[in-house]
Amino acid sequence: MKRLRERFPKAFTELGSPRTRVVKGVIDRKDLVEVCFYLKEELGFEHLSCITAVDWKDHFESVYHLYSYKTGTTAQINAIIPHDDPKIDSLVKLWNAAHYHEREAWDLMGVVYEGNPKLERILLPKDFLYHPLRKDFPQETERQYISRRKLKTGGR
Amino acid sequence: MAEFWVNMGPQHPMTHGLWNMKVKIDGETITDAAPEIGYLHRGYEKIMEVREFQKNVVLTDRLCYVSSITWSHAYALACEKMMEITVPPRGQWIRVISLELQRIASHLMWLAAYGPDLGLLTGLLWALRERELFLDLIQLLSGARMNQNFPRIGGVRNDLPPDFDKYCAKITKHFREKLKEYRRLFHESRIFLMRTQGVGRISLADAINWGVTGPNLRACGHDVDLRRLEPYEAYEEVDFEPQVWKGGDGGDSYARFMCRFNELEESCRIIEQAMKKIPTGAYRAKAPRRAEGEGFARTEDSRGEALFYVIGDGDDRPYRVKIRSPVFCTMAATPIMLRGNKMADVVSILGSVDVCVGEMDK
């Protein structure tokens, strides 16, 4: 963590260790490839475990979980993406595992990973038009929470 | 000769589920491959956002119907890290026992599917016969053979039933005897060896770069087991050996088979130890209804590394849940394993990867 702070004094808006053997950093999307390259080549985080896209209503976040097999530590990198321009650089040049994770994140959340050679639908049908994990995609919540009283009295 | 694409699936005896493996062949040799998945997508991550934390255990059970407890446990662990609660020691040990029972049941299901893939029908019958014993144990513990709904956020649902240690000891002893027979059945079968050895090779560097985990990575000779590297629950106090391929030059179907096969016996050892070491006391801690923050947990699932990333925003439902399925990542690497092999070896290679479509498609 100290080395990260020395190497990138400006990139991290937040850097800390929420639990033992976990490092968490928040960065802007433009520094992503540089930071990840450093993490992989210099600090030995060789395993890209997961890419998650999160919709925070005012911005998107792309969360990367990296893992080092040698030291057993996890690095969690949150990259901030503006809501009106959901684009971020792809990591396929560093990890081939990013191919599928990025396809899935684009499929379900609609974050465009620039540089991914095959950004297609992977879980949903090819002619599907929406990105269902976004918070503005409607979800039938009411139906699951009808209580017996509500049924008897008609909601009163 | 002209190359052309062949669809293996969505309905094919090889697929063990519903997905499609497109292979490009030149005569008999595979030059390229492209998995096509998503036939079983049920939108889990979206459904989980409108259910309460505790109720989601029912859903995570159905991620993979042959290893429900391991998946629900991973979800419960992630929620516990977010809520910052610790499970009482007895709860942790019960979890270890149930996880290992489930791992054996899952591996036996794989073995039962892999045998007939390669023309060894006896493998199916024997493995399912022994799997029934472990399902009985799980039923005794949780009341159900499949989709047990057993782990809870903060512990497990119920305590061990009376005399459970005796039943466990009896069945593991019996199973170890049977494993010797299995060994002879598989390892002395010339056809089985010919069809698995040297087929579907993947190098260690490739495997790490593509995100292959679990027994498939250990088959490349890399000693990684999350139960050792990042011990969760009571695995720190258990003496066991991660099953790594030691024969050098691994990464083929046979190495993957060996790693999984040896894990069966290792899991028996863990269960026997856990039964001796289990303390008395509470088995479940109280979990808060609402939570804020984020938590992730990675566990050693029977197929590789399972990761749950849960975010809560102060409500009683998760704001976002992310499921990292090991098979989903392994599937990305299958074209590398397939290239250069013969068409008939597709079955042998994909069978050894242990595909479970439920967790892959979410």
* Residues A2-23 pLDDT 10s: 676 667 767 777 777 777 788 8
Q: Which has the closest alpha carbon to B139: B151, B128, B148, B149?
A: B148
Determine contact: A55 vs chain B, CB below 8 A: yes
Give the residue numbers spanning the domain of B181. 4-361
Query: Residue B320 is which amino acid?
Result: R
Give yes or no for a contact between B249 and B239, defined as CB atoms under 8 angstroms apart: no
Determine contact: A92 vs chain B, CB below 8 A: no
What are residue B148's DSSP bridge partners?
Answer: none
Structural domains in chain B (count): 1
Query: Residue B9 is which amino acid?
Result: G
Question: Helix (H, G, I), strand (E, B), or coil: what is residue A67?
Answer: strand
Q: Do A100 and B331 touch (CB under 8 A)?
A: yes
Q: Which residue has tokens 């919709």?
A: A55
Q: Which has the closest alpha carbon to B358: B39, B145, B7?
A: B39
Name every chain B residue with its beta carbon within 8 A of the beta carbon of A100: 328-329, 331-332
The per-residue pLDDT string of chain B (362 residues; one tens digit each, 9 = 90 and over) reads 788 888 887 888 777 778 888 889 888 889 888 888 888 888 888 888 888 888 888 888 888 888 889 999 999 999 888 888 989 999 999 999 999 999 999 999 998 888 888 888 888 899 899 899 999 999 998 888 888 888 988 888 888 888 888 998 899 999 999 999 888 888 888 888 888 888 888 888 888 888 888 888 888 888 888 888 888 888 888 888 888 888 777 788 888 888 888 888 889 889 988 888 888 888 888 888 888 888 888 888 888 888 999 998 888 888 888 998 888 888 888 888 888 888 888 888 888 888 888 888 88
Rounded to a whole number of angstroms, the distance from the CA of B326 to the nearest CA of chain A is: 9
Residues ≥6 apart with Cβ < 8 Å to B36: B9, B19, B20, B21, B22
CB B344: neighbour CB atoms within 10 A?
Answer: 10
Determine contact: A96 vs chain B, CB below 8 A: yes
- Rounded to the nearest 5 degrees, what angle is found at the Cα of A30, between the Cα atoms of A27 and A32? 60
Give yes or no for a contact between A91 and A102, defined as CB atoms under 8 angstroms apart: yes
Q: Do B41 and A124 touch (CB under 8 A)?
A: yes
Q: Do A49 and B305 touch (CB under 8 A)?
A: yes
CATH number of the structural domain A2-153: 3.30.460.80
Alpha-carbon span B214 to B260, nearest angstrom: 10
Q: Which has the closest alpha carbon to B255: B283, B301, B215, B312?
A: B215
Q: Do A97 and B332 touch (CB under 8 A)?
A: yes
Alpha-carbon span A154 to B358, nearest angstrom: 38
Question: Domain of B139: which CATH number?
Answer: 1.10.645.10
Q: Which residue has tokens 């050792």?
A: B228
Give yes or no for a contact between B10 and B18, defined as CB atoms under 8 angstroms apart: yes
